[in-house]
Amino acid sequence: MRKIAFVFPGQGAQYLGMGKELAEKYDVADEVFNEASVALNQDMKKLVFDSSDEELKLTENTQPAILTTSIAILKVLEAEGINPEAVAGLSLGEYSALVASGAMEFKDAVKVVRQRGKFMQNEVPVGKGAMAAILSLDKEKVHKACENASHMGIVETANYNCPGQIVIAGEKDAVKKAASLCKEYGAKKAVLLPVSAPFHTTLLKGAGEKLNGILRSIEYNDFQIPVVANVDAKIIKKRGYVNNLLVKQVSSPVLWEDSINELIREGYNTFIEVGPGKSLGKFIKRVSKNVEILNVEDLKSLTKTIEKLQ
């Protein structure tokens, strides 16, 4: 028996022209881009389809762009009769998941993530923060490396993506030191990531507090389907919890591997990555070989997914 969960990507998955094919073919997708343009008072089609990589890479642009594209694709899947029974999203993708669950209105979410992007970018001066992906080293040794580099500044674990991939983040010198210690401790690779802010660390606590001011003005709806939260990898039971979880998420590690394991424990065996890129599918494959992984980001992948599900 097939049990479908949708998963939504976070920052870093963006590329120029994402979602364009589907928006041109499906009115429901086009309408999402129009709705975002009205909500933000900015031409989202121009930004996502026709701007530049540099403009799209600005955090305050990237976050609403990925959310808009993901929800546009979600609407196409719904129009094709493909619906999830649960959802999860990586970091920023959690907002797409909340929209998909019915708990958050898209027009509210897209305004929030624009501000979230600004707050996260502005909290730590450009050039001060860094992130690095550590490959093939166990959690205990990654924690030890962060601890032993902490005399150089703040460095913490930021993402537990899948077995064999943990992301660390913090102040640049401390991250570089921890990354080099990870290699000493046996990591296959320690790669600095092309981001300018140390996401999901205590350095961003202030950004979470600012975000709280905006989130408190939002009216959440009851959940139509379950969402697994990044912060604790548990299913969110009540709409009253959403605010606090989204605030904590900014400065807490993303427990992605645990989130996928939670869905697998609940019997989900088909994961569809909805939005740009295929990185979540790769992570899920490392978590379990016994699930089916599909993705939808353009017409070709949509056709393939529809065929697989028939």
Give the CATH number for residue 134: 3.30.70.250
Q: Give the model confidence (pLDDT) of 43-92 as tens digits.
A: 999 999 999 998 998 889 999 999 999 999 999 999 999 999 999 999 99
Residues 21 and 107 in one domain: yes
* pLDDT at residue number 237: 81
Rounded distance, CA 30 to CA 75, Å? 10
Residues 134 and 118 in one domain: no
Longest alpha-carbon distance in the chain: 56
* Of the residues 164, 196, 228, the one at which a domain ends: 196
Residues 18 and 110 in one domain: yes
Q: Give the model confidence (pLDDT) of 146-170 as tens digits.
A: 999 999 999 999 999 999 999 999 9
Residues 157 and 207 in one domain: no
Least confident piece of the model among 28-37, 124-133, 274-283, 291-300 = 124-133
* pLDDT at residue number 295: 98
Catalytic annotation, pick one of 96, 200, 251, 301: 200
Angle at which helices 106-123 and 205-215 pack, to 10 degrees? 150
Q: Determine the average pLDDT of the residues in 25-54.
A: 97
Q: Determine the average pLDDT of the residues in 171-197.
A: 93
pTM score, two decimals?
0.96
Domain that residue 182 falls in: 129-196
Rounded distance, CA 147 to CA 66, Å? 34
Residues 89 and 9 in one domain: yes
**Would the pLDDT of 200 be above 80?**
yes
| CATH classification of the domain holding 42 | 3.40.366.10
Nearest to 96 by CA among 9, 213, 18, 171: 9
* pLDDT at residue number 288: 97
Residues 113 and 33 in one domain: yes
Residues 45 and 114 in one domain: yes
* pLDDT at residue number 274: 98
Residues 152 and 22 in one domain: no
Residues 109 and 145 in one domain: no
**Would the pLDDT of 244 be above 80?**
yes
**Would the pLDDT of 178 be above 80?**
yes
DSSP codes, 251-289: HS-B-HHHHHHHHHHTT--EEEEESS-SHHHHHHHHH-S
* Of the residues 176, 196, 216, the one at which a domain ends: 196
**Would the pLDDT of 189 be above 90?**
yes
Is residue 125 very low, low, confident or very high in pLDDT (cuts 50, 70, 90)? confident
Residues 190 and 242 in one domain: no
9 neighbors 273 (Cβ within 8 angstroms)? yes
* Of the residues 147, 167, 196, the one at which a domain ends: 196
Residues 32 and 111 in one domain: yes
Q: Determine the average pLDDT of the residues in 272-289.
A: 97
Task: Write down the mean pLDDT value for the chain.
Answer: 96
Residues 6+ apart with CB under 8 A from 253: 156, 157, 158, 159, 160, 200
* pLDDT at residue number 255: 98
* pLDDT at residue number 238: 87
* pLDDT at residue number 121: 87
200 as an active site residue: the answer is yes
Catalytic annotation, pick one of 91, 196, 252, 259: 91
Residues 104 and 214 in one domain: yes
Q: Side-chain half-sphere of 36: how many Cα atoms within 13 Å?
A: 28
Share of the chain above pLDDT 70, in %: 100
Tokens representing 40 are: 């933000």
91 as an active site residue: the answer is yes
**Would the pLDDT of 196 be above 80?**
no
Q: Determine the average pLDDT of the residues in 236-245.
A: 92
| Secondary structure (3-state) at 7 | strand
* pLDDT at residue number 126: 80
The structural domain count of the chain equals: 2
